[in-house]
């Protein structure tokens, strides 16, 4: 299948579309990867509305979730799959180590950063989709504890901000989302990560390039 995807990717007549939004943290890490790997010239960003029953996203990804990458007739999701595919297409293996313990350590750390984002999203959804009198404080505390435990791991051993890989771009996207939604005041609790994000954002122009325009 990869040979087929490579042929489609190299065929300029085949449109390549990323279904996502500027505010999606999972879409943002894919957009950062695309820029870092020098693939942005082939990809068009097309917004999606996950709550719109008529949005074609639900046909492209039956789960109706972003991001979803369309390459010709192929629809690929979620962000983990897309990153792996982009890494292979670029012929670089820069984002995820190809084998060995290092690969699975990177995948685990990447999933940890995504899990923090997932917990933040669940906090937002609790307020968005429930009536005020049915919001569970216990549930919110449960998710905030996940966020704090996950951030503590990265606070104690942050990745190298000079490196661009699945761990660093996922963590950066996560922290950017926490800055926006503020499920906890992470900046006051995790000063090493504040410094880390500052260094990462200065070192890599794709951080500003993928920042949402409407803050």
Please give the CATH architecture assigned to the domain spanning 2-89.
3-Layer(aba) Sandwich (3.40)
Q: For the segment 97-118, what is each residue's pLDDT rounded down to a tens digit?
A: 999 999 999 999 999 999 999 9
Question: Counting runs of H as helices and runs of E as strands, what totals does the chain give?
Answer: 10, 4
Q: What is the DSSP letter of 123?
A: H
- The CA–CA distances, whole Å, from 195 to 40, 71, 138 equal 28, 38, 31
pLDDT at 215 over 70: no
Average pLDDT over residues 112-130: 95
Q: Give the model's pLDDT for residue 27.
A: 97
Average pLDDT over residues 123-139: 92
Q: Give the model's pLDDT for residue 2.
A: 54
Average pLDDT over residues 129-142: 93
Selected residue with higher pLDDT from 175 and 133: 175
Q: For the segment 63-84, what is each residue's pLDDT rounded down to a tens digit?
A: 999 999 999 889 999 999 999 9
Average pLDDT over residues 150-156: 98
| Burial class of residue 169 (count of CB atoms within 10 Å of its CB; 0-12, 13-18, 19+) | buried
Cβ within 8 Å of residue 122, ≥6 positions away: 139, 143
Q: What is the DSSP letter of 56?
A: T
Selected residue with higher pLDDT from 128 and 100: 100
Closest CA to 92 of 5, 25, 166, 11: 166
Return the domain boundaries, the chain.
2-89, 100-209
Q: What is the domain class of 100-209 according to CATH? A: mainly alpha
Instruction: Compute the distance between CA of residue 52 and CA of residue 35 in angstroms, rounded to an integer.
Output: 29
3-class DSSP string for 73-117: CEEECCHHHHHHHHHHHCCCCCCCCCCHHHHHHHHHHHHHHHHHH
- When pLDDT is cut at 50, 70 and 90, the band that residue 176 belongs to is very high
Q: How close are the terminal C-alpha atoms of the chain, in Å?
A: 40
Instruction: Compute the distance between CA of residue 208 and CA of residue 32 in angstroms, rounded to an integer.
Output: 10
Q: What's the token pair of residue 14?
A: 């085949």
């Amino acid at each position: 299948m990869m040979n087929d995807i490579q042929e489609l990717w190299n065929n300029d007549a085949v449109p390549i579309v990323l279904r996502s939004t500027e505010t999606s943290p999972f879409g943002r890490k894919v957009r950062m990867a695309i820029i870092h790997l020098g693939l942005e010239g082939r990809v068009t960003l097309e917004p999606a509305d996950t709550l719109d029953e008529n949005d074609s996203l639900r046909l492209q990804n039956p789960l109706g979730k972003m991001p979803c990458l369309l390459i010709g007739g192929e629809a690929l999701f979620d962000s983990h799959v897309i990153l792996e595919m982009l890494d292979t297409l670029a012929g670089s293996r820069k984002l995820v180590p190809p084998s060995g313990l290092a690969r699975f350590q990177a995948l685990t750390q990447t999933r940890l950063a995504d899990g923090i984002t997932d917990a933040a999203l669940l906090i937002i959804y609790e307020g968005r989709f429930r009536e005020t009198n049915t919001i569970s404080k216990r549930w919110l505390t449960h998710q905030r504890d996940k966020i704090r435990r996950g951030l503590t791991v990265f606070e104690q051993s942050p990745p190298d901000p000079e490196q661009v890989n699945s761990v660093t771009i996922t963590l950066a996207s996560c922290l950017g989302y926490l800055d926006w939604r503020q499920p906890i005041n992470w900046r006051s609790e995790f000063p090493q990560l504040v410094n880390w994000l500052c260094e990462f954002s200065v070192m890599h122009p794709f951080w500003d390039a993928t920042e949402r325009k409407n803050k």
